Amino acid sequence: MDNVLIIGAGAAGSVVAKKCAMNRDVFKKIHLASRRLESCKKVQKEAVSKIDISQVDADDVAATVTLIEKVKPDLVINMALPYQDLPIMDACLKAGVHYMDTANYEPRDEAKFTYKWQWPYNKPYKQAGLMAILGCGFDPGVTNVFCAYAQEKLYDEIHTIDIIDCNAGDHGKAFATNFNPEINLREVTQRGKYWKDGKWIEIDPLTIATMIDYPEVGPVKSYLIYHEEEESLVKHIKGLKQIRFWMTFSDNYIKHLDVLSNVGMTRIDPVKYKGVDVIPMEFLKHLLPAPSSLAESYTGKTSIGVVFTGLKDGKKKKYIIWNVCDHAETFKEVGAQAVSYTTGVPPVVGAMMMFKGIWKGKGVYNVEQMPPEPFLEELAKQGLPWHVKEIKKKDQEDLFKVKT
C-alpha cells in the first residue's frame, strides 16, 4: 500500500496533502481532489514534492467512484465536510478501497453528532474485505488514542475521562472560527451532553463552565460541550463511570455567538429572502474569514489533552496526557495554523499505520480500537509530541470540583 487519495483541500486537507508529500517513503503516489480545483492547485504548488490533483463533487457518489477507479488508491482520506462522509463511504465501498475520516457524519438539516449512521457500515465493509477508520483527527482521534494508551499502560480501570481542548492563540480578528465556520458554530450551539453512570445527560448550550489548568498555557475558562469521541469511548473504555468534553471560548467569542444566535444567524433551517430559500448559517459562513486565512498572523498555542482518574494495582491514580502545538511554528512548516495542523497530521499518521500493516482489520473501527503506541511514536516524529504526567487533585482542583 503506497497510494493515497485525499478528498478535501481546505485548511486541514491541505495539511494532510503537504505532510504526505513530506513522507514519500510511505506515500509513493498522492492525489488531492476537491470541489474547487483552484484550492488543489494552490496546495500542489506549495507541496515539497509532486502531487496530482482533480476536481470532484464528493456529494456525487458516481463521480467519486469514477475518480477512485482512475486514481486506484489504497486508501481514501476524507477531509471534506462531515455532510459528505456517507457519500464518500458509499463510493469507497463500491470502488473497493479503504476509508478514513476525521469527524463523524452530520445531516445538513440537523446539528447532530452521532456514529449511528456510520457504524452500520461495519457489515458491508467487512464483507467487502475493507477497513474504515472513523474520527482520526485530533479530537476525535489523538484524544481517543490517548485513552487507549491509558487503558493499556496506566490503568487497570479508568473511572473518569475529561477531554480538555484549549486554543490560546490570537488571530487578531474581531470574530472568526478556527475550522469550517458552519461546522464549528453547529457544534457550539447544539445542546451539551455528557455520560455518567450508564446514561447520557443533556444540558443547555454553554451552561456549565470551570477553570482548567492547561499545560504550557495556564488556567482558562472552559465550557462543557458534547463531542463525538465520547460516544465511541463509552463503548471501548472498560470500567468508565463518567466522560466529559471541555473547550475554551473567549468572552469575545461568546459575546458574538450570543448576538448571532439572538438575531437568527446560527439557524440551519431555510428562511425566505426575496423569494429565495437562504440558510442563515451557510450565509454567515461566507461572511466570516476562512480558517486558512488566519494562519499567517496567528500567535500562541493550542493545548489539548485528557485528564484521567482510575485504579492501578488497587491504588487511585490521576494522569494527564497532552500535546501543545504552536501556531507560528506550524505556519513555518506547512503554512497552516495549529488547529488545522493538529487536525491534519493525525490522519497522515493513521494512514502510515495502515500502509505499514500495523492498523489492520475488516469493517468499521474507531481509532481507540487500534494499537496506540506505534501511532503515538510516529505522531511525535510528525510534529505533534505528546506527554504524560501523574497529577494530584490540586493540580486540576477546579475541574475535579465540578459535580455533573
With a cut of 70, say whether residue 379 has pLDDT above it.
Answer: yes
Number of Cβ atoms within 10 Å of the Cβ of 264: 11
For residues 77 and 16, state if they share a domain: yes
Single residue among 41, 70, 101 that ends a domain in this structure:
101
Give, in order, the Cα–Cα distances in Å from 82 to each of 75, 117, 180, 186, 287.
18, 12, 10, 12, 21
For residues 185 and 327, state if they share a domain: yes
Beta strands in 98-186 (DSSP E): 98-101, 131-134, 157-167
Percent of the chain, pLDDT > 90?
79
With a cut of 90, say whether residue 170 has pLDDT above it.
Answer: no
pLDDT at 16: 98
3-class secondary-structure state, position 347: helix
Q: What is the mean pLDDT of residues 289-305?
A: 83
Q: Name the nearest CA neighbour of 342 among 323, 358, 357.
A: 323
For residues 54 and 148, state if they share a domain: no
Q: What is the mean pLDDT of residues 233-247?
A: 96
Please tell me the distance from the alpha carbon of residue 56 to that of residue 31, in angstroms, as a whole number.
12
For residues 147 and 270, state if they share a domain: yes
With a cut of 90, say whether residue 260 has pLDDT above it.
Answer: no
Please tell me the distance from the alpha carbon of residue 391 to that of residue 299, in angstroms, as a whole number.
29
Q: Name the nearest CA neighbour of 145 among 308, 306, 352.
A: 306
With a cut of 90, say whether residue 130 has pLDDT above it.
Answer: yes
pLDDT at 198: 96
For residues 236 and 330, state if they share a domain: yes
pLDDT at 180: 64
Is 128 among the domain residues? no
Identify the band that residue 174 occupies on the pLDDT scale cut at 50, 70 and 90: low
Identify the band that residue 77 occupies on the pLDDT scale cut at 50, 70 and 90: very high
With a cut of 90, say whether residue 268 has pLDDT above it.
Answer: no
With a cut of 70, say whether residue 178 has pLDDT above it.
Answer: no
C-alpha cell at 173: 480578528
Question: Residues 3-33: pLDDT tens digits?
Answer: 999 999 999 999 999 999 999 999 999 999 9
Question: What radius of gyration do the chain's Cα atoms show?
Answer: 20
For residues 281 and 169, state if they share a domain: yes
Domain containing 70: what range? Answer: 3-101
For residues 36 and 152, state if they share a domain: no
Is 127 among the domain residues? no
> What b/e string do you get for 230-246 counting C-beta neighbours within 10 Å, with b at 16 or more?
bbbbeebbeebebbbbb
pLDDT at 93: 98
Q: Name the nearest CA neighbour of 289 among 205, 172, 401, 162.
A: 172
Q: Are 1 and 27 in contact (CB under 8 A)?
A: no
With a cut of 80, say whether residue 173 has pLDDT above it.
Answer: no
With a cut of 70, say whether residue 375 has pLDDT above it.
Answer: yes
pLDDT at 163: 98
With a cut of 80, say whether residue 111 has pLDDT above it.
Answer: no
For residues 50 and 171, state if they share a domain: no
For residues 95 and 146, state if they share a domain: no
Percent of the chain, pLDDT > 70?
97
Q: Are 337 and 328 in contact (CB under 8 A)?
A: no
Is 346 among the domain residues? no
Question: Residues 226-237: pLDDT tens digits?
Answer: 999 999 999 999
Q: Are 157 and 308 in contact (CB under 8 A)?
A: no
Q: Are 31 and 73 in contact (CB under 8 A)?
A: yes
3-class secondary-structure state, position 213: strand
For residues 255 and 188, state if they share a domain: yes
Task: Report residue 269 CA to chain centroid gap.
Answer: 25
For residues 94 and 240, state if they share a domain: no
The residue with cell 452521532 is: 114
Is 134 among the domain residues? no
For residues 63 and 179, state if they share a domain: no
Give the predicted TM-score (pTM) of the model. Answer: 0.92
Identify the band that residue 239 occupies on the pLDDT scale cut at 50, 70 and 90: very high
Q: Are 71 and 56 in contact (CB under 8 A)?
A: no
Is 375 among the domain residues? no
C-alpha cell at 134: 472513523
Please tell me the distance from the alpha carbon of residue 28 to that of residue 9, in angstroms, as a whole number.
19
Which CATH number do you get for residue 238?
3.30.360.10
CA 233-239-242 angle, to 5 degrees, is 60
**Partners of 210 in the β-ladder:** 222
The residue with cell 494532510 is: 16
Please tell me the distance from the alpha carbon of residue 289 to that of residue 280, in angstroms, as a whole number.
16
Position 109, amino acid: D
Position 393, amino acid: K
Number of Cβ atoms within 10 Å of the Cβ of 382: 16
Question: Residues 328-344: pLDDT tens digits?
Answer: 999 999 999 999 999 99
pLDDT at 259: 81
With a cut of 80, say whether residue 42 has pLDDT above it.
Answer: yes
Which CATH number do you get for residue 61?
3.40.50.720
Is 351 among the domain residues? no
Single residue among 52, 72, 101 that ends a domain in this structure:
101
Single residue among 101, 130, 154 that ends a domain in this structure:
101
Residue 263 CB-density burial (10 A; 0-12 exposed, 13-18 middle, 19+ buried): exposed
Is 63 among the domain residues? yes
Q: Name the nearest CA neighbour of 161 among 331, 307, 259.
A: 307
Q: Are 55 and 34 in contact (CB under 8 A)?
A: yes
pLDDT at 181: 66
Q: What is the mean pLDDT of residues 188-193?
A: 84
- Which residues contact residue 301 at a Cβ distance below 8 angstroms, ignoring those fewer than 6 apart? 168, 169, 216, 217, 324, 325, 326, 327, 338
pLDDT at 108: 77
Position 131, amino acid: M
Is 122 among the domain residues? no
Q: What is the mean pLDDT of residues 228-252?
A: 94
Q: What is the mean pLDDT of residues 83-97?
A: 97
Q: What is the mean pLDDT of residues 197-201?
A: 97
Q: What is the mean pLDDT of residues 298-312?
A: 96
Give, in order, the Cα–Cα distances in Å from 122 to each of 80, 99, 125, 271.
21, 12, 5, 38
Q: What is the mean pLDDT of residues 228-249?
A: 96
Say how many domains are in the chain: 2
